[in-house]
Amino acid sequence: MALETSTIFPTNKHNRPTPPSKVRLHGLDICPAIQIHNHRFFRCPSIPLSDVVEQLKTSLAEALELYPPVASTMQSNDKGEIFSVMDKEGIVGTPFLVDLKDTPFVKDSEDLSPRTDPILPPMASTLAVKVTQVIVVPCNTVLSSVTHLIRIIANACNYSSFHIQQ
């Protein structure tokens, strides 16, 4: 199976209020810029992997609606201030990759992560997801991997206070 890539956008299922178009990030949100790799291993369920992937995509789309900062992109202004942008132009979709490995899982490696860029390019989504089916003796295993490049401390506080005031 070749690497399959799709883009996931937030749903409108929960009819949430419109988030602020942008939120200024605190220096602690982006410094140091570290990648957070989160790998989760699951036994292969009795349903086909394609059904599992569709369920994960649906769940991710709903989660992105409920917490827009995760679906945002980063932009800076002339003063060098960095913002999490959550308007229609700032939501470029979350990359969602699916891969099937026909070799046994031995150890963690870069190819299990959805991206390895140490610094996000301009207008890149802050979140990326990759689902990989790997072989682990005695049975197949599904690996779900999430990469998030920044901490969103101020963003989360500003977003939360915005919704509390609604």
Query: Domain limits at 146?
Result: 4-165
Distance CA 27, CA 21 (A): 19
CATH of the domain at 77: 3.30.559.10
Predicted confidence at residue 45, as pLDDT, reads 75
For the whole model, what pTM was predicted?
A: 0.76
Counting the structural domains of the chain, the total is 1
- DSSP letters spanning the chain: ---EEEEE----TT-PPPPPSEEEPPHHHHSS---EEEEEEEEPPSS-HHHHHHHHHHHHHHHHHH-GGGG-EEEE-TT--EEEE-STTT---EEEEEEEEEEE--S--GGGSS---SSPPTT-BSEEEEEEEEEETTEEEEEEEEEE-S--HHHHHHHHHHHHH-
**Residue-level pLDDT at 78:** 93
The Cα 93–Cα 146 span in angstroms is 14
Residue 61 is predicted with a pLDDT of: 94
Q: Residue 155's pLDDT is what?
A: 44
CB–CB of 152/69 below 8 Å? Answer: yes
Compute mean pLDDT per 10 residues along the chain, 166 residues long, and list them.
84 89 79 65 78 90 89 87 86 87 71 70 77 67 59 44 41
With the CA atoms of 124, 129, 131 and 136 taken in that order, what torsion angle do they form, in degrees rounded to the nearest 10? Answer: 110
